[in-house]
Amino acid sequence: MLRQDGYQEVHGSAQRAAEILTVLQDDSPGQREQVIAVLRAHGEPEPIEITDADMAELRRAARQLREVFTATDTAEAAARLNGLLSAHARPPRLTTHGGVTGWHVHVDSRDDALWGEWFLTSSCLALSLLLAQRQAPPAGICASPSCGKPFVNTGRGTSRRFCSPACGTRERVAAHRGRPNSQYDSGA
pTM score: 0.87
DSSP letter assigned to residue 72: S
Annotated domain spans of the chain: 7-135
pLDDT for 41 beyond 90: yes
Q: For residues 103 and 99, give the distance between their C-alpha atoms in angstroms, rounded to a whole number.
A: 8
3-state SS class at 93: strand
**Confidence label for 183 from pLDDT (cuts 50, 70 and 90):** very low
Q: What is the mean pLDDT of the chain?
A: 89
Dmax of the chain from CA atoms? Answer: 78
pLDDT at 60 over 80: yes
Q: How does pLDDT run across 76-102, given as a tens digit for each residue?
A: 999 999 999 999 999 999 999 999 888
Considering the domain 7-135 in this protein, what is its CATH number? Answer: 1.10.3300.10
pLDDT of residue 7: 65
Arithmetic mean of pLDDT, 109-120: 97
Cα separation, 43 vs 9, whole angstroms: 11
pLDDT at position 92? 97
Helix (H, G, I), strand (E, B) or coil at 115: helix
The single-letter DSSP state of residue 105 is E
Q: Is the pLDDT of residue 4 over 60?
A: no
126-152 pLDDT per residue, tens: 999 999 999 999 999 999 999 999 999
Is the predicted pLDDT of residue 24 greater than 90, yes or no?
yes
